[in-house]
């Protein structure tokens, strides 16, 4: 079996190991040839802020003058995408940061072109910092220090939950009267026509009349139109105007919805599964 340092696949550059010692086998390395490139293809489009690259200790010059490319094109192995920057050099064994100014795409390439067939491209780690680009536009605001998004797409309750969790944090929970009033102001300012109701992260236990927040937030505040056991649907929404009351609605109704953009971790978060969205 070949020693680790001879096994230098592209995946070594995203293994979470910044070890810059090439002989330890955690760096990527191209073969002989004039055109060298390393490519990362992501499942979704992202808005990139910066890229960190860790260089090897020995022969550190092998990264010199490589380009960082970001975009959506897979043509020419992703090498036709716009350029973020040129890497002049990275100190031996060091990690350098390259700002990409909010460039968007799902393909990140590092390319080194040379007419010298004995040139190589080596990286020990690449870290991309970005936020996923949502599929649909939204009206963004801040509620009591929390970033929220009113999404301009009508979905059923479960699809709204999955969308918020895939692209943001969660369906919104409202934890106090102050937050309720702030959300009312946001809904009154939305720049597109809203459905009569909007989905929240409210869910009722199927075995009782207990309502809870999918985010795990404690439900100490209520704004139901009326509290009673007559509610028949387990999915909760709020009026998008007037009194902004909460109410249960058929889960299959397609409504606009409010996402919490911040990905807050809560040990009481309720997980939801579907055969269509495992």
Q: What is the mean pLDDT of the chain?
A: 91
pLDDT of residue 128 exceeding 50: yes
Cβ atoms of 51 and 126 closer than 8 Å: yes
Which pLDDT score, from 0 to 100, does residue 265 have?
Answer: 67
Residue with the bigger pLDDT between 275 and 33: it is 33
Which pLDDT score, from 0 to 100, does residue 6 have?
Answer: 61
Which pLDDT score, from 0 to 100, does residue 231 have?
Answer: 60
Tell me: the pLDDT tens digits for 92-115? 999 999 999 889 999 999 999 887
Above pLDDT 90, what percent of the chain?
Answer: 76
The residue assigned the tokens 């109704």 is 253
Which pLDDT score, from 0 to 100, does residue 210 have?
Answer: 87
Going from the C-alpha of 99 to that of each of 49, 81, 126, the distances in angstroms are 6, 16, 13
Whole-prediction pTM: 0.70
Above pLDDT 70, what percent of the chain?
Answer: 93
4 band by pLDDT with thresholds 50, 70 and 90: low
Rounded Cα distance, 60 and 91, in Å: 7
Which pLDDT score, from 0 to 100, does residue 2 have?
Answer: 44
Which pLDDT score, from 0 to 100, does residue 245 have?
Answer: 97
Question: Residue 145's CB: how many other CB atoms inside 10 A?
Answer: 8
Question: Residue 177's CB: how many other CB atoms inside 10 A?
Answer: 11
Which residue spans within the chain are E strands per DSSP? Answer: 28-29, 35-54, 66-71, 83-87, 95-99, 104-113, 122-123, 125-132, 138-143, 146-155, 170-171, 197-204, 211-213, 235-239, 246-249, 255-260
Rounded Cα distance, 36 and 204, in Å: 56
Tell me: the pLDDT tens digits for 172-224? 999 999 999 999 999 999 999 999 999 999 999 888 888 999 998 887 899 99
């Amino acid at each position: 079996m070949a020693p680790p340092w001879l096994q230098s696949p592209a995946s070594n550059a995203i293994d979470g190991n910044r070890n810059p010692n090439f002989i330890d086998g955690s760096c990527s390395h191209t073969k002989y040839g004039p055109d060298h490139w390393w490519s990362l293809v992501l499942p979704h489009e992202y808005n990139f802020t910066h890229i960190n690259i860790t260089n090897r200790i020995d022969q550190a010059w092998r990264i010199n003058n490589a380009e960082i490319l970001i975009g959506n094109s897979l043509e020419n192995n992703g090498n036709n995408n716009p350029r973020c920057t040129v890497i002049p050099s990275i100190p031996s064994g060091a990690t350098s940061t390259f700002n990409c100014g909010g460039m968007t795409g799902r393909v990140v390439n590092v390319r080194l072109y040379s007419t010298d067939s004995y040139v190589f491209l080596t990286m020990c780690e690449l870290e991309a910092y970005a936020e996923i680009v949502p599929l649909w536009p939204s009206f963004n605001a801040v509620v009591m220090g929390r970033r929220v998004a009113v999404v301009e797409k009508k979905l059923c309750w479960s699809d709204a939950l999955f969308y918020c969790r895939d692209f943001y944090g969660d369906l919104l929970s409202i934890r106090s009267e102050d937050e309720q009033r702030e959300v009312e102001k946001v809904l009154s300012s939305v720049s597109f026509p809203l459905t009569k109701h909007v989905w929240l992260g409210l869910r009722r236990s199927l075995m009782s009349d207990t309502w809870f927040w999918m985010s795990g937030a404690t439900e100490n505040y209520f704004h139901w139109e009326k509290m009673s056991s007559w509610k028949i649907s387990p999915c909760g929404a709020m009026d998008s105007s007037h009194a902004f009351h909460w109410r249960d609605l058929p889960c299959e109704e397609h409504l606009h919805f409010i996402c919490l953009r911040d990905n807050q971790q809560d040990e009481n978060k309720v997980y939801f599964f579907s055969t269509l969205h495992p």
